[in-house]
Structure 1
Amino acid sequence: MPTPSRHDRILALLERSGELSVEALAEHLGMSRETVRRDLTRLDAAGRLRRFHGGARALAVLPPVAEQEWPFAQRVAQNAAAKKLIAAAATRLFRPEDSIFIDTGSTTIAFAEALVAVPALVTITNAPRIAATLASNHSHKVFLIGGAYGADAGESLGPLALEQIGKFRARHAVLTIGAIDPTCVMDFDLQEAEIAKAMIERADQVTVLADHSKFDRRAVFEVAGLGRIDTLVTDRQPSDAMVKAIASAGIELIIAGS
């Protein structure tokens, strides 16, 4: 079957069903799962559907509230090129002498690697990996938040971490998220959401880093309404509904690489 015809059939099937697994699409099309995965990757890159692990959904379908996300090591590898683009674009927002909260996430790890080149920053983070990365520039002043250790993402969490965040006041908070819809940004983990909220409360400006897979999704724990976000850096143009909501909230939208 020619590639354009397969793509049209995939989109038609998703329009009828909302979302389908790779296995179901392969059965409907009479194609191998590997071919379907390649087609989904191309269609997602073209902005014609939303791919997720194991399948895809039509753009118009809002997924149900999710209970969890993939393990951190797997998230680091997902959309790695997009995260590097986002990190490079976000780094240009900051200047020497800025003070920045940075939470733990696969995108903020990429951000920290890019941020090393900016001299004389004051950074506060709950991620040992981010702290070590930034400390490699000896002009940086780095504060590592302590607390209960979350082994999956390698981060400090819990009441001790929240108490320590309350001792700082920063010009910026740079955060990753689990999901964003037209009303708010969200996370899948309660303790991580609490860390992000605490940083937001102690920062003057909030920048969210989110690759395209986070849009038009929902997670269990709300972090902040869109109105609390000042800048949003992503790798692709969001859906029309999201662009309208972002503009209405007064958020500066930066598309990395555009």
Structure 2
Amino acid sequence: MWLPNKNEKKKSIASIANDFIGDGEAIFCDSSTTCMHLVPYLIKKQNLIIITNGLHIATSLSERSDAKIYICGGHIYNSSGSVLGSSASEFISNFRADIAFISCEGISKNGIYMSNDEQAQIKEKIITQARETILLCDSSKVNKESYYKLCGYNNIDTIITDKKPEKNSFLVNTDIELLYPVE
């Protein structure tokens, strides 16, 4: 099974995200390496429906899971294994999911940001098609912005990060559920 570089931050985020996943659910997973760290948890669940734009996620799950896996068509972005484009977005429109797991390039008091507008368009569609959206964001992305604003906080239900934010952080002052490992 393909796994990105081992990253303890992303592993701890995935461990917390696992608590949101139940048997028999429909789940959107974006193509991020953070979502890739969910794979070891997803393969342990029963009767999942996974919708993704990530080639690596789909391949890894298909090798070790009984999940019903859907992957969108479109063009593949560089070596990331992300499937992008209007056909990918249209494909996602055909599904509703219980939970969407997405990542980002940066997060600030002004919102959630991406450095690729095509990736952002897929994530925007995923957000609109999910009952609940969970942002997986390691602490290196906090207080960073990029050129494309993905969304505001009103589109996110839960943020999972790898460490407790400082008490004066904008993350503490949102109305969104904020989760992180206990120190």
Pair in the same fold by TM > 0.5: yes
Same amino acid, percent of matched pairs: 27
Distance apart, 1:257 and its partner CA: 4.6
5+ residue gaps, structure 1: 1-75
Cross-structure match for 1:70: none
SS in 2 for 1:244: coil
SS in 1 for 2:170: helix
Match of 2:34 among 107, 122, 125: 107
Match of 1:235 among 153, 162, 173: 162
Contact in 1 for aligned 2:30/2:101 (Cα 8 Å): yes
Give the Cα separation in 1 of the matches to 2:119 and 2:71.
Answer: 16
1:190 correspondence with 2:112 = no
Query: AA paired with 1:244?
Result: V
Give the Cα separation in 2 of the matches to 1:213 and 1:164.
Answer: 32
Match of 1:94 among 5, 21, 32: 21
5+ residue gaps, structure 2: none
Give the Cα separation in 2 of the matches to 1:92 and 1:190.
Answer: 30
Q: Deviations over 1:49-92 (max 9, x none)?
A: xxxxxxxxxxxxxxxxxxxxxxxxxxx54x81111111111111
Alignment of 1:134-145 (within 5 A): 134-145=61-72
Structure 1 moving runs of 4+ over 4 Å: none
Distance apart, 1:204 and its partner CA: 0.9
1:128 correspondence with 2:43 = no
1:252 correspondence with 2:180 = no
Q: Deviations over 1:32-60 (max 9, x none)?
A: xxxxxxxxxxxxxxxxxxxxxxxxxxxxx
Give the Cα separation in 1 of the matches to 2:113 and 2:151.
Answer: 7
Cross-structure match for 1:208: 135
1:168 correspondence with 2:101 = no
Contact in 1 for aligned 2:138/2:162 (Cα 8 Å): yes
Give the Cα separation in 2 of the matches to 1:232 and 1:138.
Answer: 26
Please, what is the CA RMSD of the aligned residues? 1.5
Alignment of 1:21-170 (within 5 A): 76-77=4-5, 80-170=7-97
Distance apart, 1:125 and its partner CA: 0.2
The higher relative CO (CA closer than 8 Å, separation ≥ 6) is in 2
Distance apart, 1:155 and its partner CA: 1.3
TM-score (norm 1): 0.66
Distance apart, 1:135 and its partner CA: 2.2
Structure possessing the higher radius of gyration over alpha carbons: 1
Q: Deviations over 1:83-122 (max 9, x none)?
A: 1111111111110011111111111111223322122211
SS in 2 for 1:245: coil
Give the Cα separation in 1 of the matches to 2:182 and 2:35.
Answer: 18
Query: AA paired with 2:80?
Result: A
How many residues were matched structurally?
Answer: 179
